[in-house]
Amino acid sequence: MSVLDFTELHLETEFLWNEIAIGDSVMLEADLYESNTMKLHKYQSYEVLAKIHCIAPEPSRLIVESDVTGEFINLHPALLCSFQAADRPASHA
């Protein structure tokens, strides 16, 4: 991957990260495995619980809860196939 390709991918994922809000639903393009354990299912809707903004070269991440393990998963925006805005904005207690 050339530097230009990496920069373009980073910009695209940062743009997508900025468009998605806490409370929105996201779907993955493929099942997500870590250490040979399934963590998230493809085409399953996951609510964004938090967002982590990182400085390049680290990509910013979305946090969702696994329906398989119950743990919180750091999700790279490039793994998404779609997202949908929440019906109403998330409120903070």
User: Omega of the bond prior to 89 within 30 degrees of 0, cis?
Assistant: no
CB 62 within 8 A of CB 75: yes
Q: Write down the pLDDT at residue 11.
A: 79
Tokens (6 digits) for 27: 């779907």
CB atoms within 10 A of CB 40: 23
Each residue's pLDDT expressed in tens, for the chain with a length of 93 residues: 555 565 777 778 888 999 999 999 999 999 999 999 999 999 899 999 999 988 766 778 999 999 999 999 999 998 999 999 988 766 665
Q: Does the predicted TM-score (pTM) go above 0.95?
A: no
What residue ranges define each of the domains in the chain, with the CATH number in brackets? 3-84 (2.30.30)
For tokens 């099942």, name the residue: 31
